[in-house]
Amino acid sequence: MFLKGDVCVVTGACGFLGRRLIRLLLEEENLGEIRLVDKQIKLEDVQSFNDCRGDTRVQAYEGDIRDSAFLRRACRGASTVFHVAALIDVTGSVEFSELYGVNVKGTQLLMEVCIEENVPSLIYTSTIEVMGPNRGDPIHNGTEETVYECSLKSPYRRTKKEAEERTLQANGELLPDGTRLATCALRPMYIYGEGCRFLLGHMADGVRNKNVLHRMSSQEAKVNPVYVGNVAVAHLQAARCLKDPNKRDIIGGRFYFISDDTPPASYSDFNHVMMSPLGFHIKDKLPLPLGLLYVLCFLIEVTCTLLRPFIRLVPPLNRQLLTMLNTHFTFSYNRAQVDLGYVPRYTWQEARKGTVEWLAGKLPALREKLET
């Protein structure tokens, strides 16, 4: 057990990935203490880990990541911080100041606190969206060496990119005790699995549409989603490597793409793969030709901008989201395999089975809610 007796901090602990990572840490590492950091933590959130906590102390730290005094309390005496917390926004519904405050300023504060409190290791959960995509500019099986200049102006992408850059630049910072901070960033593909709110939202849309899923991405625009359990494994492997003196300098200051063996598919077709066992179908074609959809999105965006002084409207689809949904964008996890020793623990069959069963369990209540 590489992290035996350590104190680990997980920000965004009550989120989709945070919960899965905490459970993995408790099951695989005999930690001294694990600290759940989130803006709101219920008693049942802590109690949900009772079956796997063993002798590890599980502590809840409820507060704002933009509060440095709160972060100092949460990080004092810690050996590893997993920074999973972030505001995710693909439609532009969150004000930029809020996104920047949480995703960038919160990350910067956390790093400063890690330095002040002699925390030696920080792992940052980034996203594939820091790479792009650009319209009409696909990537097939990209790697960490792939040169790609992203032109996307998405506020979410910008804030995650800046936060990642600041995290990696902090690698090697001198700590008060004479040691140095080591950081790395993981860039997962689209994460799916039990608890994925995006899959649940698409299923709700399908129920409203009489069990027919909307198609918003062409079949040719393939991506390679990654199962949440495998993303958690990658985080654990990164923590183990940062603690290993022989590997710490190799991965410190670097980013890694995290995918697995989930078959590449477009976002829409992937939703159908997950929901077809539950009786859902999918439309064969986009609702309009792609070029016309871009024009329509542009007109809607202009209208929303003109109305902004009077009312704030957020369309469910914009040109940047349409680009993401309709650009082939796949990446290899080979570098993570070589440097981190990352190997997907869950097969595609296991990941799909678990996800479908979770969706099936949610479907009856969802139908009842939407049909009443």
Nearest Cα to Cα of residue 236 among 187, 186, 194: 186
Q: Is 333 a catalytic residue?
A: no
Give the integer Cα–Cα distance in Å for 50 and 278: 32
3-state secondary structure the chain: CCCCCCEEEEECCCCHHHHHHHHHHHHHCCCCEEEEEECCCCHHHHHCCCCCCCCCEEEEEECCCCCHHHHHHHHCCCCEEEECCCCCCCCCCCCHHHHHHHHHHHHHHHHHHHHHCCCCEEEEECCHHHCCCECCECEEEECCCCCCCCCCCCHHHHHHHHHHHHHHHCCCCECCCCCECEEEEEEECCEECCCCHHHHHHHHHHHHCCCEECCCCCCCCCECCEEHHHHHHHHHHHHHHHHCHHHHHHHCCEEEEECCCCCCECHHHHHHHHHHHHCCEECCCCCCCHHHHHHHHHHHHHHHHHHCCCCCCCCCCCHHHHHHHCCCEEECCHHHHHHHCCCCCCCHHHHHHHHHHHHHHHHHHHHHHHHC
Is-contact 13 38, C-beta < 8 A? yes
The catalytically annotated residue of 61, 100, 124, 156 is 156
Looking up tokens 């097969």, which residue turns up? 347
Burial 154-175 (b: 16+ CB within 10 A, else e): bbbbbbbbbbbebbbebbeeee
Give the integer Cα–Cα distance in Å for 260 and 351: 10
Active site residues: 156
